């Protein structure tokens, strides 16, 4: 399995600062998008801190994280490690926010995948999203931790009313807000031809899921997809920072050769 | 948001959102709601927002505009009002959202929320109170909570203990166990040493297929080599049903929920 990756971020048309942050570590199959919040540049600090923590924890070779022998949660050790890295980021931001009054209240969303051996481990907190595109079908891998999502689930508002909601920006979960955070995780097998898309809400607020799917179906090349989506979001007002990471899953060279030889 | 539901003899024809703009009802195409019927005047009536109220106005139509069977020239619409134009009916729905939002986050409460560059976070305590309100609202409206799918039920939390677990029973072929219980989120079939169902042999794929679990839903994704379900080659993701027979690289397995 090979991965082809595209990534882009933009401040948008309204904000002065870009508080989003992302990292792509293709060799390790790690991809992360964070959307920071908190005034006076503190949001930028929170999202950047998370990226750094993730890089540090996941690329360190000391496998200090105990491999769960019994694996009680039912997830791969890799998935657990990703979730633990997110919780570690949460603690780091929370502690800094407690020490530094100027940074009080800073926080960030998190969406990240770790792809290895055709299985993607997905972790998320907040309203940044991950999607899987396969065979022209766009599947949401995450569910926003937002008030409007909770209202939709409770049946108080309909999904098509979300856009006009006054409480659209209210998050129910974010990193750095409380000493502990609940991290949603899942696992999804990947096939050659699949695409993963990670993004901040600056994209999904102005481009519907169908628009994301169409961009992938037509453009195909990850970096072109990212550039196109950033342009589209900006042309629709760019109300917030926009970040998008696209990962294309490809057959490995040997796999293709092998398949051809075996007919 | 408020809307009008256009009906003809109990059939819903369409839904028209009523926002800031004017909704014009009449027989000719420049109307928002065109009703092509001789009983309808070319410009028959209109609906618009006036402050907090939604107003229906008859535009001196020939056959009149009726609300709940009373002829009106101007009327402040209430939730559930039935507007009759010719033989067509327009049901007015105020929409839950305005009230919902107003109740969920009353303006006097809003300043209490920390303002964080547009995005706002609710701490656990505030959340619990708010969620309780939302639940109460949903109950008051008789709103059915959207049926939680396996995925929404507990994303992230350790998978719940659902009543049933998928089991693969070996029907034929060489395997190291007679049956495999699919208890984890992902189970792999292949030569890989992380595989649950271990294939042995030179020409077996490292990863033949992966089975993902969401509650009681099991989806198989073919990854390498040839995989058949009920004798049909598998080309994409497939949701396993009780009794399905999987053939993976010379191994025949039956899937059952137990």
Mean pLDDT over B139-152 rounds to 49
Neighbours of B72 (CB within 10 A): 18
pLDDT given for residue B8 in this prediction: 84
Closest by Cα among B215, B210, B217, B214 to B196:
B210
A41 band by pLDDT with thresholds 50, 70 and 90: low
Provide, as residue numbers in chain B, all residues whose Cβ is less than 8 Å from the Cβ of A169: 118-120
**Whole-angstrom distance, CA of residue A24 vs CA of residue A31:** 5
Helix (H, G, I), strand (E, B) or coil at B183: coil
The predicted-structure confidence for A173-220, as pLDDT tens digits, reads as follows: 999 988 999 999 999 999 999 999 999 999 999 999 999 999 999 999
DSSP letters of A109-168? -EEEEEEETTEEEEEEESS-EEEEEETTEEEE-----BHHHHHHHHTSS-GGGGGG-TTT
Residue to mutate among A155, A179, A255, with most B CBs inside 10 A, is: A155
Q: Give residue B106's pLDDT.
A: 39
Do A37 and B127 make contact, defined as CB atoms within 8 angstroms? Answer: no
Strands across the sheet containing B23-26: B33-34, B23-26, B45-50, B53-58, B74-76
Q: Is the pLDDT reported for residue A128 higher than 50?
A: yes
Residue of A nearest to B159 (CA): A73
Place of tokens 């609202």: B137
For residues A151-159, give the mean pLDDT: 84
A10 close contact with B: CB closer than 8 A: no
Residue A63 pLDDT:
55
Element (H, E) at B180: strand B179-182
Question: CB within 8 A of B240, min separation 6: which ones?
Answer: B166, B211, B218, B219, B220, B229, B246, B255
Is the CB of residue B252 less than 8 Å from the CB of residue B246?
Answer: yes
**A248 against B193, higher pLDDT:** A248
CA distances in angstroms from A170 to A44, B127, B128, B156, listed in the order given: 19, 10, 14, 20
Q: What is the pLDDT of residue A188?
A: 94
Rounded percentage of chain B residues whose pLDDT exceeds 90 = 28
Q: Is the CB of A185 inside 8 Å of chain B's CB atoms? A: yes
Confidence of residue A156 (pLDDT cuts 50, 70, 90): confident
Q: What is the ipTM of this complex?
A: 0.82
- Max CA pair span of chain B: 85
Summarize the confidence of residues B162-168 as an average pLDDT: 84
Look at B119 and A188 and tell me if their CB atoms are within 8 Å: no
A173 SS3 class: coil
pLDDT digit string, tens, across residues B210-252: 999 988 999 999 988 889 999 999 888 999 999 999 999 889 9
What is the distance between the alpha carbons of residues B198 and B251, in angstroms, rounded to a whole number? 10
Handedness of CA B99, B100, B103, B106 (dihedral sign): negative
Residue B141: pLDDT band by 50, 70, 90 thresholds? low
For B34, the token pair is 């065109």
Q: What is the pLDDT of residue B154?
A: 39
Q: How far is CA A137 from CA A146, A147, A250, B75, B198, in A?
A: 24, 27, 17, 47, 31
A39 vs B95, B116, B207: nearest CB: B116
Mean pLDDT for A148-156 is 85
A194 touches chain B (CB under 8 A): no
Structure confidence at residue A72 (pLDDT): 59
CB A132 within 8 A of CB A188: yes
pLDDT by residue (tens digit) across A47-104? Answer: 999 999 999 888 876 555 554 444 556 898 899 999 999 999 999 999 998 888 878 8
Residue A99, chain B, CB below 8 Å: the answer is no
Torsion over CA: A205, A208, A214, A217 (sign)? positive
Mean local confidence (pLDDT), A20-49: 89
pLDDT at B60 over 50: yes
Contact A1, A249 (CB under 8 A): yes
Residues B205 and B250: their CA atoms lie apart, in Å, by: 11
Query: What whole-number percentage of chain B has pLDDT above 70?
Result: 82
By C-alpha distance, the chain A residue nearest B125 is A172
Minimum distance, in Å, between the CA of residue A262 and any CA atom of chain B: 9
**Closest CA relative to residue A39, chosen from A56, A6, A15:** A15
Give, in order, the Cα–Cα distances in Å from A21 to each of A45, A242, B205: 10, 10, 38
**Contact yes or no for A182 and B156 at CB 8 A:** yes
- A-B Cβ pairs (cutoff 8 Å, strict): 158
Look at residue A251 in the predicted model and tell me its pLDDT.
Answer: 81
Q: Which of the listed ranges A127-131, A173-177, B42-46 does the model predict with the highest average pLDDT?
A: A127-131
In a mutational test of the A interface, the residue from B18, B124, B143, B186 whose CB has the highest number of chain A CBs within 10 Å is B186
- Kindly state the tokens that stand for B231: 């004798």
Over residues A221-245, the pLDDT tens digits come to 999 999 999 999 999 999 999 999 9
Q: What does the mean pLDDT of chain B come to?
A: 80
Greatest mean pLDDT among A245-259, B96-110, B180-194 lies in: B180-194
Q: What is the 3-state secondary structure (H, E, C) of B16-67?
A: EECCCCCEEEECCCCCCEECCCCCCCCCCEEEEEECCEEEEEECCCCCCEEE
CA angle at A110 for the pair A147 and B112, rounded to the nearest 5° = 40
Minimum mean pLDDT range among A133-142, B27-36, B96-105: B96-105
Given a cut of 50, whether residue B150 has pLDDT beyond it is no
Nearest to A108 by CA among A88, A123, A128: A128
Q: Is A193 on the interface with B (CB under 8 A)?
A: no
pLDDT score at B127: 75
Q: Suggest the residue from B106, B121, B128, B161 to mutate for an interface test with chain A (most A CBs closer than 10 A).
A: B121
Q: Is residue B159 scored above 80 in pLDDT?
A: no
pLDDT digit string, tens, across residues B62-121: 889 999 888 888 899 988 899 999 888 999 988 755 444 434 443 333 333 444 446 777
Give the Cα separation of A244 and B73 in Å (integer).
53
Distance CA B133, CA B145 (A): 14
How many angstroms away from the CA of B68 is the closest CA of chain A? 26
């Amino acid at each position: 399995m090979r991965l082809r990756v595209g990534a882009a971020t933009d401040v948008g048309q309204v904000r002065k600062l870009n508080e989003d942050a992302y990292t792509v570590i293709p060799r390790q199959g790690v991809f992360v998008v964070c959307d920071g919040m908190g005034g006076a540049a503190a949001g930028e600090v929170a999202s950047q801190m998370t990226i750094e923590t993730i890089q540090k924890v996941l690329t360190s070779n000391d496998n200090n994280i105990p491999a769960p022998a019994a694996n009680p949660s039912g997830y791969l050790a890799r998935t657990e490690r990703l979730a633990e890295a997110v919780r570690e980021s949460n603690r780091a931001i929370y502690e800094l926010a407690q020490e530094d009054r100027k940074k009080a209240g800073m926080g960030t969303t998190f969406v990240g995948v770790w792809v290895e051996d055709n299985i993607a481990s997905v972790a998320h907190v907040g309203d940044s999203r991950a999607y899987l595109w396969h065979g022209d079908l766009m599947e949401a891998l995450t569910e926003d931790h937002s008030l409007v999502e909770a209202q939709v689930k409770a049946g108080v508002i309909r999904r098509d009313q979300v856009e006009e909601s006054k409480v659209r920006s209210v998050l129910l979960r974010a990193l750095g807000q409380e000493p502990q955070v609940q991290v949603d995780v899942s696992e999804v097998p990947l096939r050659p031809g699949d695409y993963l898309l990670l993004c901040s809400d600056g994209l999904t607020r102005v481009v519907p899921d169908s628009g994301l799917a169409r961009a992938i179906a037509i453009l195909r090349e990850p970096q072109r997809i990212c550039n196109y989506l950033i342009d589209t979001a900006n042309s629709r007002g760019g109300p917030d920072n926009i970040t998008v990471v696209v990962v294309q899953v490809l057959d490995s060279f040997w796999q293709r050769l092998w398949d051809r030889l075996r007919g | 948001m408020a809307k009008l539901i256009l009906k003809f003899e109990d059939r819903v024809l369409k839904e028209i959102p009523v926002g800031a703009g004017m909704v014009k009802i009449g027989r000719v195409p420049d109307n928002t709601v065109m009703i092509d019927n001789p009983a309808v005047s070319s410009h028959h009536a209109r609906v618009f927002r006036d402050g907090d109220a939604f107003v229906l106005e008859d535009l001196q139509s020939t056959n009149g505009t009726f609300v709940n069977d009373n002829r009106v020239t101007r009327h402040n619409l209430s939730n559930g009002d039935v507007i009759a134009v010719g033989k067509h009916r327009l049901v007015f729905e105020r929409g839950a959202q305005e009230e919902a939002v107003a109740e969920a986050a009353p303006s006097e409460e809003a300043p209490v929320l920390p303002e964080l560059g547009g995005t706002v976070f609710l701490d656990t305590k505030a959340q619990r109170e708010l969620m309780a309100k939302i639940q109460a609202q949903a109950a008051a409206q008789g709103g059915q909570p959207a049926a939680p799918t396996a995925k929404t039920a507990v994303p992230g939390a350790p998978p719940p203990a659902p009543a049933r677990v998928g089991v693969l029973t070996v029907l034929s072929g060489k395997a190291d166990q007679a049956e495999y219980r699919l208890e984890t989120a992902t189970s792999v079939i292949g030569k890989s040493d992380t595989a649950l169902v271990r294939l042995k042999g030179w020409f077996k794929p490292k990863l033949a297929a992966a089975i993902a679990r969401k509650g009681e839903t099991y989806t198989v994704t073919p990854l390498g080599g040839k995989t058949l379900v009920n004798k049909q080659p598998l080309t994409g993701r497939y949701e396993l049903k009780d009794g399905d027979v999987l053939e993976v690289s010379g191994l025949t397995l039956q899937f059952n929920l137990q």
